[in-house]
Amino acid sequence: MTNPLESTAPKGRASSIGNEVPDWKPSELELSRKRIRSDQNRRNILIAAGSSFLVLGTLVSILITSPGFKSLSDTFFAWAYGFEILPKVILGFTTNLILTVIAATCVSIFGLLLALTRTSRSPALTPFRFLATMYVDVFRGVPMLLIILLVGFGIPSLRLRGLTNNVFVLGTAAVIITYSAYVAEVLRSGILTVHPSQRAAARSLGLSNFQTLRHVVLPQALRRVTPPLLNDLVALIKDTGLVSILGVTDAVRAAQISSSRSFNYTPYVMAAILFLMVTVPLTRFTDRTMRRAIERQNAQGLA
């Protein structure tokens, strides 16, 4: 009989050179640690479940046992009625989605132009730089509802020929005006975080100022500000509901019409659910993008 150790020894060495996992068995110590770790895990899960049950249970029981709960569920959660008017609210919600797509496209263009103007150092752009700074200051500092009212009711009252009275167009314009200011600031901060040595390297390779921006600075800046930009997109989607104040029949307005006919608030809840169905997945997606961005940055720090 051959000694089993003798025959496995060279094989083990060869496999460790090839970077494969050699015949490794966890030691007694490691096995006992494993048992302790799984005990600790089990205990943590139990604690998490217990505390969730306690907190949520308390909240729900306070809600259900409150004296007004019956009337509340009748006026806010009349599901049968809710499903009856749902098609109208969904129809309105498509307006919100269309508005979001149009606004997001225009905002990316205007926001980028504003950010580039504010970060440029060209003497020819001095007046534009001043105007862009003022623009951002004003439109970030005023409630969006006011902008919507000013644009929606102010522009038609000018009675200028060629300007539209269409509330959808005016509402969209107001949203674009406001969000361009927000997005411009996010983009500007991204541009400023790209280290000056990157510019120096690009310029020393003979790239012009514009080429440096286009090929070196902006790609890095955009990558860094993707998570906050997605945040702004979520905010934009829900803020499109504000244009209902001009009479645009979006989800909010459609819910309002149904609600004022029946004196029941369930349509509002239905509209809220529609918004959540879009914003919650997008928020989760944003979280994931942000986590990845942080991981990537940390990995770069190590290298």
Interaction between residue 216 and other proteins (CB under 8 A): yes
Interaction between residue 198 and other proteins (CB under 8 A): yes
Q: Which of left, alpha, beta for 122 (phi over 0: left; psi -120 to 50: alpha)? A: beta
Q: Closer to other proteins at the Cβ: 11 or 223?
A: 223
Interaction between residue 105 and other proteins (CB under 8 A): no
Nearby residues of 79 by Cβ (< 8 Å), 6 or more positions away = 266
Neighbours of 188 (CB within 10 A): 22
Interaction between residue 122 and other proteins (CB under 8 A): no
Interaction between residue 193 and other proteins (CB under 8 A): no
- Return the structure tokens found at 52: 């969730």
Interaction between residue 300 and other proteins (CB under 8 A): yes
Interaction between residue 101 and other proteins (CB under 8 A): no
Q: What is the dihedral sign for C-alpha 163, 168, 171, 174?
A: negative
CB of 124 to other proteins, least distance (A): 17
Which among 192, 271, 272, 278 has a CA at the least distance from the CA of 233?
278
Which residue among 11, 33, 43, 223 contacts other proteins (CB under 8 A)?
Answer: 223
248 touches 165 (CB < 8 A): no
> Alpha-carbon distance 88 to 255, whole Å?
8
Interaction between residue 213 and other proteins (CB under 8 A): no
Q: Closer to other proteins at the Cβ: 109 or 205?
A: 205
> Alpha-carbon distance 87 to 92, whole Å?
9
Q: Closer to other proteins at the Cβ: 140 or 203?
A: 203
> Segment near other proteins (CB under 8 A), from 97-105, 196-204, 234-242, 277-285?
196-204
CB of 211 to other proteins, least distance (A): 6
Interaction between residue 211 and other proteins (CB under 8 A): yes
**60-87 burial code (b ≥16 CB/10 A, e <16):** eeeeeeeeeeeeeeebeebeebbeebbe
> Segment near other proteins (CB under 8 A), from 52-60, 183-191, 193-201, 284-292?
193-201
Count the residues of the shown chain that bind other proteins, applying the rule CB under 8 A: 20
> Alpha-carbon distance 121 to 129, whole Å?
9
Residues contributing to the site for other proteins (CB under 8 A): 197-198, 200-208, 211, 215-216, 219-220, 223, 299-300, 303
